C-alpha cells in the first residue's frame, strides 16, 4: 500500500514534468482566471462596504438657510421628528458639513481652501420609512417651502450611479473570469488527454497485466488536482496583492476620495480565498475526471 | 479452464459477416492449443474475447469456471491477473530496462517491493535473460525482446497464457527458441492458447490444433498439423 | 496548385474541429488575454487623455479674497504677468469657478445647491516656466502674503495621485495580459503538438510517399494562425465593447466626475485593434511554428 | 540503381555493435533482392537507410546515381517519390477507404485531381481490388490490406520498391498471392528489395539473396535460397 502511494506520486510528478509546457499553460490560465474571479469578488465586497454607508441612509437632505433663525430651525426640526413618514434624521451643523466637505473633496485642496464653514449651510439628513422614490419626493417637497429652508435635495441618484459603475466593473470581471474558468477546465481536460495519449502504451500494458481501474486513473486525476491547486494558490497570492496594494491603495488615495470606503477586511479576504481554492480544486477534478472517463475506457 | 458456448462476435462498422460465429470449444487445464486459419479468420478476435478486451455479441465464455460475461467492469483487472498475454510486437516499454519492464507488471497490480525483488530475477533466469536485466529493449534482438514479454506475462504465474502470433516477427531459428520456452511454461501446468500461421511450428509441435475459417471453427484436432 | 490550396484549407478545418475542446480553450485564452491586453492599452489612452488637461497645466493657483478690491487685483495680475518665471496664467472669475465647481462636483448636487457663485473666490491659475517642484513652491510663495490674496495652493499633488492610481490599474492589466499571452502561445503550441500527435500515422504516411516538408507543415501553421486570428477578432470586439460601454459609461457618469475626461477616440481604438490583431497573428504563428519545427522532424 | 559503399550504421543509445557494418552492395535496375538474416541482423536498418529515414554513420549510398548523403533535407521528399515502401503492418489510414488511401499518396505530393481519378482505379485494378474501392481497411483481410498498401506504394510508379517483411502478418496462402503481385511489379522494371524471414518464399522464388548477420553482409548469392 505504501508502494502504491509512492507510485501514484511518482507517476503524477512524471506526468506533470513530461508535458511541462502544457502544465505551465494550464496553471497559468487557471491562476489568472481564478485571480480575476477572486479579485472581482473582492471588488464586489469592497464596493458593498463603500456604498453601505449610503445605502438606506440619506434619502434626502433639507438644506437650511445659514441665516435661518432659531425658531425657524426648531419648527423644521419638530416637523421632521414628528412626521410618521420619517424613520430617522440627523442634523449636520455648519462645522460638521465643512468637515465632511473637506473629507469628500480632499482631492481639490484649492476648493477646501476657498470655502469656509460659514459658507456651508446646516442640514437635516432625513431617512423616510418608505424608500419608494415617489413617497420620498412627496415627503421631501413638504419641507421645501417652509421658512428657513433653502432647498431640499434628493441624494439617492448620485449614489445609485456610483453603485451602477462599480457593479458594471465587477460584473465585467466576473464574466471574464467565468470564461477563463471554462478555458481552464478545458485546458486541464486537454492536458490529461494529452498525458493519456503520451502514455497510451504504458496504459495498454497496465490494462493487459490487470492493473485496477483506479490504479490507472488516479495519477491523471491527481495531475488535474495539482493543476487546480497550484493555480488557485497563485490566484490567492494575487488576491492578497490586490487587496493590499490596489484596493488599500485606492482607499488611501488623496484624490479619489469617493473610493475612501473601499475596504476589504481580512475575514472577507480569507473567505474569498477559500472559495477560490475550492473552485480551483473542483475545476481540476472535474476536468481530469471528465478526461479520464472519456479517454480511458478501463 | 476455458469454455465457449455458442460464442459469436461481429464488430460494429466492420464487415457484414461475423468475426466469430457460433464457436463452441472446451480447453482443459494445462492444454496447449494452436489457433490456425487464414488472415481475418478470427484468431485475434478469439484471443481478445478470452481476455475480455472485447465482449461477445452472443454466447457465453467461461474462464476458470466463471462466466466472464457476468463480470462487472471493475473485476475485469482481476480476471486479467490470471491471464498472461504475448503479442507479435512485444509491447515492451522502450524507456524501461528489461528488469523494469517485468517489474512494472507487478508494480501496477500493487505487489509489495519484497515480492518484486524476488520474482523478477527468478523469471528472467527462467527465460534465459539473467545477463540482460539492465539492457533496454532496443538493445535486444527480437527473440530476446519476446522473451522479456513472456517473462512479463508469466511473472505473476497466470493460469492461462494467450499468445497472438508470438513468432510473427522472428526468424525460424529464433522462433524455435521461443516455442521451447512456451513449451516449458506449458509443462508447469499453464494453459497456453497460441494463434499462429507458422506451419513449421505447428507441424513440429504436434499439439491440439483448432482451425478457424471466416469465423467458424472448421477443425479441432488433437496432435494436429497446420492443414 | 488549386488542389493544394483546397487540401490545406480542408486539413486545417479538420484539425480545428477534431480537437474542438483544445481549439476552444486556445481561442478563449487568446481572446481573453488579447482583450485584457487591448483594454489595458485603451485604459492607458483614456487616462492619458483625461490627465492631459492637467498635465503641464495648472501648477499652482492664487486664490483671491472675494472681497479684494480692484487695485489689489490689478497688482497681483501685474506681478504674475510680469514675472519671468511664469509661462502663462489664466484668470478664473467667480462665475467661471462656480461653473467649474458644478462640473467637477456633479456627483454631489446637494453641494452645488448649497454653494453660490459668490461663495467661491476668483483665482489665477499660474503655469511656471520651470516645472521643478521647489522652484514652483518658491515662486508661488511670493504671492502668498500680498494683499488681496487669500491663499496659494499647489495643485500638482492631487493630479499626480490620480495618475498614479490610473497607471497602477493599467500596469496591472498589462502584466496580467502578458502572462495570458504567454499562456496563449504555450496553448497554441500544445494544440499543434496534440494535433500532430493525433495525426502521427497520417504524417508518417505523408513522409513515406514523399510529401514535401511545407505540405506537411502548412496545415498546422494555418491552424495556429486561425487560433490567433479568431482569438484576436473576439478581443477586438471586446475592446469596442469596453470603449463603448465601460469607458464611455464612466465619462458619462454623473458621480465620477473626475473620470469625465476619460475618452478614447475612434482613431486610437482602431490603432489598438490593429495592434491586437497583429499580436494575435504573431502569437499564433510563433506558437505553431515552434511546435511544428520541434515535433515534425521533416 | 542502388549502391552502398562501406556503409556503417550505429544507433545512438543502442547496442555497442553497429546495426550495419561496412556494407558494400550494388543492385541493378529491375533486380529482385531478398534480404535475409536473423532478428536484429540489420535488415530493417538497411531498408531505412535507402529511404533516408536514417542516415548512415559512415560510407556513401547512391540511389538512382545520386549520393543521397549529399541531399539537402528539403530534397528528401523528392527522393522518396521514387521509392515505394511496404511494411508488415500495412500502415493504412483506418478512417479512409481503399480508394482514398491510395489517392492520399498522390494528393499529398500535389498531383492534380485529373491524374488521381485516372491512376487510382488503374492501380486498384492491377492489384485485384477493383471491387473493394469503397471498403475500409478493417473490412479487409490481411492479404487485401497488403494489396492496398502495395497499390499506394506503386501508384506513383516509383523506380524502387522496398518491402520490410511484407508477408510477416500473413498466412502462407495469402503470402503467395502477395509475392506473385510483387513479382509482377518487378517484371515492369521496378527494382524490388525485400526483407523477409519466410524460408518458403525465398526458396520458391529463387532470386538474388543477400544475407546479413550482426550487421555484416555474409552472403550475396544470385538465385539463392534462405540458408
Ligand atoms: N477492431 C475491429 N473493428 C472492426 N472489424 C474488425 C476489428 N478487428 C478485427 N476486425 C475484423 O474481424 C475479422 C477477424 O479479424 P481477426 O483480427 O480476428 O483475424 P485474424 O485471424 O487475427 O487475422 P490475422 O491473421 O490477419 O491476424 C476480420 O474480418 C477483421 O476485418
Ligand atoms: N531506433 C533504434 N534505436 C536503437 N537501436 C536500434 C534502433 N532500431 C534498431 N536498432 C538496433 O539495431 C540492430 C538492427 O536492427 P534491425 O531492426 O535493423 O534488425 P532486423 O534485421 O530488421 O530485425 P528484425 O528481423 O527483428 O526486424 C538491432 O540490434 C536493434 O536493436
Ligand atoms: Mg490476428
Ligand atoms: Mg526488421
Interchain contact, B109 vs A210, CB within 8 Å: yes
Q: Is B43's C-beta closer than 6 angstroms to any atom of ligand 1?
A: yes
- Rounded Cα gap, residues B150 and B146, in angstroms: 6
- Rounded Cα gap, residues A223 and A244, in angstroms: 32
User: Regarding predicted confidence, which is higher, C263 or D102?
Assistant: D102
3-class SS of residue D8? strand
State the smallest CA–CA distance between residue D131 and chain C in angstroms: 24
Which of A200-214, A283-297, C227-241 shows the lowest per-residue confidence on average (mean pLDDT)? A283-297
Q: What is the pTM of this model?
A: 0.72
- Rounded Cα gap, residues D71 and D61, in angstroms: 11
In this structure, chain D runs to a length of: 227
User: ∠ CA B10-B14-B18 to the nearest 5 degrees?
Assistant: 30
Q: Which of C22, C110, C258 sits opposite A61 (nearest CB)?
A: C110
User: Strand D32-36 relative to strand D208-213: parallel, antiparallel, unpaired?
Assistant: parallel
* Cα C197 from chain centroid (whole Å): 40
- Rounded Cα gap, residues A57 and A48, in angstroms: 14
Q: Is B17's C-beta closer than 6 angstroms to any atom of ligand 1?
A: no
Ligand nearest to the CA of D45: 2
pLDDT of A108 strictly over 50: yes
- Let me know: does A154 contact A147? Beta carbons within 8 Å: no
- Rounded Cα gap, residues D185 and D146, in angstroms: 14
C-alpha cell at B197: 500461421
Tens digits of per-residue pLDDT, A122-148?
A: 888 787 777 666 677 778 778 878 888
Neighbour-count burial of B187, counting CB atoms closer than 10 A to its CB (0-12 exposed, 13-18 middle, 19+ buried): exposed
3-class SS of residue B30? coil
- Let me know: does C152 contact A244? Beta carbons within 8 Å: no
CATH number of A59-154: 3.30.70.3040
Whose cell is 497464457? That residue is B161
Per-residue confidence at C186, pLDDT binned at 50, 70, 90?
Answer: confident
Q: Is B88's C-beta closer than 6 angstroms to any atom of ligand 1?
A: no
pLDDT at B221: 93
Q: Is D142's C-beta closer than 6 angstroms to any atom of ligand 1?
A: yes
Percent of chain A with pLDDT over 70: 76
Tens digits of per-residue pLDDT, C213-239?
A: 888 888 888 888 998 999 999 999 988
Per-residue confidence at A257, pLDDT binned at 50, 70, 90?
Answer: very low
Q: Is B189's C-beta closer than 6 angstroms to any atom of ligand 1?
A: no
- Rounded Cα gap, residues A62 and B79, in angstroms: 87
Which of B189-193, C60-64, C199-203, D217-221 shows the lowest per-residue confidence on average (mean pLDDT)? C60-64
Residues of chain A with CATH 3.30.70.3040: 59-154
- Let me know: does D104 contact D96? Beta carbons within 8 Å: yes
- Within 8 A of B136 by CB-CB distance, chain D residues are 13
Tens digits of per-residue pLDDT, B33-82?
A: 999 998 888 999 999 999 999 999 999 999 998 999 998 888 999 999 99
Chain D interface with B: residues with Cβ < 8 Å:
11, 13-15, 36-40, 88, 136, 138-143, 165, 168-174, 197, 199
Query: CB count, 10 Å around CB of D223?
Result: 9
The answer to whether C and A touch (≥3 CB pairs < 8 Å) is yes
- Rounded Cα gap, residues C181 and A29, in angstroms: 10
Radius of gyration of chain C (CA): 30
Going by CA atoms, what residue is nearest to atom 22 of ligand 1? B44
- Rounded Cα gap, residues B12 and B124, in angstroms: 41
Radius of gyration of chain D (CA): 17
Query: CB count, 10 Å around CB of B227?
Result: 15
User: Regarding predicted confidence, which is higher, B14 or D167?
Assistant: D167
pLDDT at A56: 47
pLDDT at C56: 47
Per-residue confidence at D138, pLDDT binned at 50, 70, 90?
Answer: confident
Q: Which helix (H) or strand (E) holds D160?
A: strand D160-164
Give all chains having 3 or more CB-to-CB distances under 8 Å with chain B: A, D
Whose cell is 480544486? That residue is A281
Q: Helices in A121-247 by DSSP H: which ranges?
A: 133-144, 156-198, 200-209, 213-241
- Rounded Cα gap, residues D31 and D25, in angstroms: 13
Q: Is D40's C-beta closer than 6 angstroms to any atom of ligand 2?
A: yes
For C220, residues 6+ apart whose C-beta sits below 8 A from its C-beta are: C15, C192, C195, C196, C288, C291, C292, C296
Average pLDDT over residues A175-201: 75
pLDDT of B199 strictly over 50: yes
Measured in Å, residue D216 CA sits from the centre of ligand 2 at 13
pLDDT of C150 strictly over 90: no
Neighbour-count burial of D222, counting CB atoms closer than 10 A to its CB (0-12 exposed, 13-18 middle, 19+ buried): exposed
pLDDT of D13 strictly over 80: no
- Within 8 A of A19 by CB-CB distance, chain C residues are 190
Interchain contact, A155 vs C111, CB within 8 Å: no
Angle between helices A266-295 and A156-198 (to 10 degrees): 30
Question: Strands, E, within chain C: which ranges?
Answer: 60-64, 86-92, 123-128, 149-154
- Within 8 A of C1 by CB-CB distance, chain D residues are 110
Tens digits of per-residue pLDDT, D45-59?
A: 999 999 999 999 999
| Closest ligand 2 atom to D17 CA | 29
pLDDT at C133: 60
Question: Which segment, A154-158, B167-171, C185-189, is predicted with the most confidence on average?
Answer: B167-171
C-alpha cell at A136: 420620498
Interchain contact, A210 vs B73, CB within 8 Å: no
pLDDT of C50 strictly over 70: no
pLDDT of D182 strictly over 60: yes
Characterize D170-191 residue by residue with b for buried, 16 or more Cβ atoms within 10 angstroms of its Cβ, and e for exposed. bbbebbbbbbebbeebbeeebb
- Let me know: does A121 contact A64? Beta carbons within 8 Å: yes
pLDDT at A40: 76
Percent of chain D with pLDDT over 90: 75
Of C194, C244, D139, nearest in space to A196 by CA: C194
pLDDT at D18: 84
When the pLDDT of each residue in chain B is averaged and rounded to a whole number, the result is: 92
- Rounded Cα gap, residues C161 and A255, in angstroms: 6
Interchain contact, D169 vs B88, CB within 8 Å: yes
Whose cell is 533486380? That residue is D31
pLDDT of A4 strictly over 90: no
For C55, residues 6+ apart whose C-beta sits below 8 A from its C-beta are: C159
C-alpha cell at B55: 465482449
pLDDT at A122: 82
pLDDT of C254 strictly over 50: no
When the pLDDT of each residue in chain D is averaged and rounded to a whole number, the result is: 92
Enter the DSSP assignment of A129.
Answer: S
- Within 8 A of C96 by CB-CB distance, chain A residues are none
pLDDT at C157: 56
Per-residue confidence at D98, pLDDT binned at 50, 70, 90?
Answer: very high
The answer to whether D and A touch (≥3 CB pairs < 8 Å) is no
pLDDT of C155 strictly over 70: no
Q: Within a 13 Å sphere around the CA of C7, how many CA atoms are in the beta-carbon half? A: 21
Of C27, B107, D84, C31, nearest in space to A8 by CA: B107
Per-residue confidence at A255, pLDDT binned at 50, 70, 90?
Answer: very low
Amino acid at each position: 500500500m505504501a508502494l502504491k502511494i509512492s507510485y501514484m506520486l511518482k507517476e503524477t510528478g512524471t506526468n506533470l514534468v513530461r508535458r511541462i509546457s502544457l502544465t505551465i499553460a494550464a496553471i497559468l490560465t487557471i491562476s489568472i482566471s481564478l485571480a480575476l474571479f477572486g479579485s472581482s469578488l473582492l471588488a464586489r465586497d469592497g464596493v458593498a462596504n463603500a456604498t453601505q454607508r449610503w445605502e438606506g441612509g440619506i434619502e434626502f437632505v433639507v438644506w437650511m438657510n445659514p441665516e435661518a433663525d432659531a425658531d425657524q430651525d426648531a419648527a423644521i426640526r419638530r416637523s421632521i421628528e414628528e412626521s410618521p413618514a420619517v424613520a430617522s434624521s440627523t442634523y449636520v451643523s455648519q462645522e460638521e458639513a465643512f468637515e465632511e466637505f473637506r473629507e469628500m473633496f480632499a482631492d481639490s485642496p484649492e476648493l477646501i481652501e476657498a470655502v469656509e464653514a460659514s459658507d456651508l449651510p446646516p442640514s437635516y439628513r432625513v431617512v423616510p420609512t418608505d424608500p419608494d422614490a415617489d413617497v420620498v419626493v412627496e415627503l421631501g417637497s413638504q419641507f421645501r417651502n417652509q421658512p428657513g429652508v433653502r432647498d431640499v435635495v434628493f441624494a439617492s441618484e448620485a449614489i445609485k450611479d456610483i453603485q451602477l459603475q462599480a457593479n458594471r466593473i465587477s460584473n465585467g470581471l466576473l464574466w471574464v473570469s467565468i470564461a477563463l474558468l471554462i478555458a481552464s477546465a478545458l485546458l486541464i481536460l486537454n492536458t490529461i488527454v494529452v498525458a493519456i495519449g503520451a502514455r497510451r502504451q504504458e496504459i495498454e500494458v497496465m490494462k493487459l497485466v490487470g492493473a485496477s481501474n483506479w490504479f490507472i486513473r488516479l495519477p491523471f486525476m491527481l495531475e488535474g488536482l495539482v493543476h487546480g491547486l497550484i493555480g488557485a494558490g497563485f490566484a490567492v497570492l494575487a488576491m492578497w496583492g490586490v487587496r493590499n496594494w490596489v484596493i488599500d491603495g485606492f482607499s488611501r488615495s488623496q484624490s479619489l476620495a469617493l473610493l475612501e470606503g473601499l475596504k476589504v477586511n481580512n475575514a472577507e479576504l480569507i473567505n474569498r480565498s477559500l472559495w477560490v481554492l475550492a473552485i480551483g480544486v473542483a475545476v481540476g477534478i472535474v476536468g481530469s475526471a471528465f478526461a479520464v472517463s472519456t479517454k480511458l475506457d478501463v | 479452464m476455458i469454455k465457449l458456448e455458442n460464442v459469436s462476435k461481429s464488430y460494429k462498422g466492420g464487415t457484414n459477416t461475423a468475426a466469430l460465429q457460433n464457436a463452441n470449444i472446451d480447453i482443459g487445464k494445462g492444454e496447449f492449443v494452436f489457433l490456425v486459419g487464414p488472415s481475418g479468420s478470427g484468431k485475434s478476435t478469439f484471443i481478445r474475447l478470452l481476455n475480455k478486451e472485447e465482449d461477445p455479441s452472443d454466447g457465453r465464455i467461461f474462464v476458470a469456471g466463471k462466466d466472464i460475461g457476468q463480470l462487472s467492469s471493475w473485476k475485469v483487472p482481476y480476471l486479467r491477473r490470471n491471464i498472461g498475454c504475448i503479442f507479435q510486437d512485444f509491447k515492451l516499454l522502450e524507456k524501461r530496462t528489461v528488469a523494469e519492464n517485468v517489474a512494472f507488471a507487478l508494480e501496477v497490480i500493487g505487489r509489495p517491493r519484497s515480492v518484486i525483488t524476488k520474482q523478477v530475477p527468478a523469471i528472467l533466469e527462467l527465460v534465459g535473460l539473467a545477463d540482460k536485466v539492465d539492457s533496454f529493449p532496443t538493445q535486444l534482438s527480437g527473440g530476446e525482446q519476446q522473451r522479456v514479454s513472456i517473462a512479463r506475462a508469466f511473472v505473476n504465474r497466470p493460469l492461462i497464457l494467450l499468445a497472438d502470433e508470438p513468432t510473427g516477427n522472428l526468424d525460424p531459428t529464433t522462433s524455435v527458441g521461443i516455442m521451447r520456452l512456451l513449451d516449458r511454461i506449458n509443462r508447469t501446468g499453464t494453459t497456453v492458447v497460441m494463434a499462429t500461421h507458422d506451419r513449421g511450428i505447428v507441424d513440429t509441435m504436434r499439439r491440439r490444433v483448432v482451425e478457424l475459417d471466416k469465423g467458424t471453427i472448421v477443425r479441432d484436432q488433437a496432435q494436429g498439423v497446420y492443414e
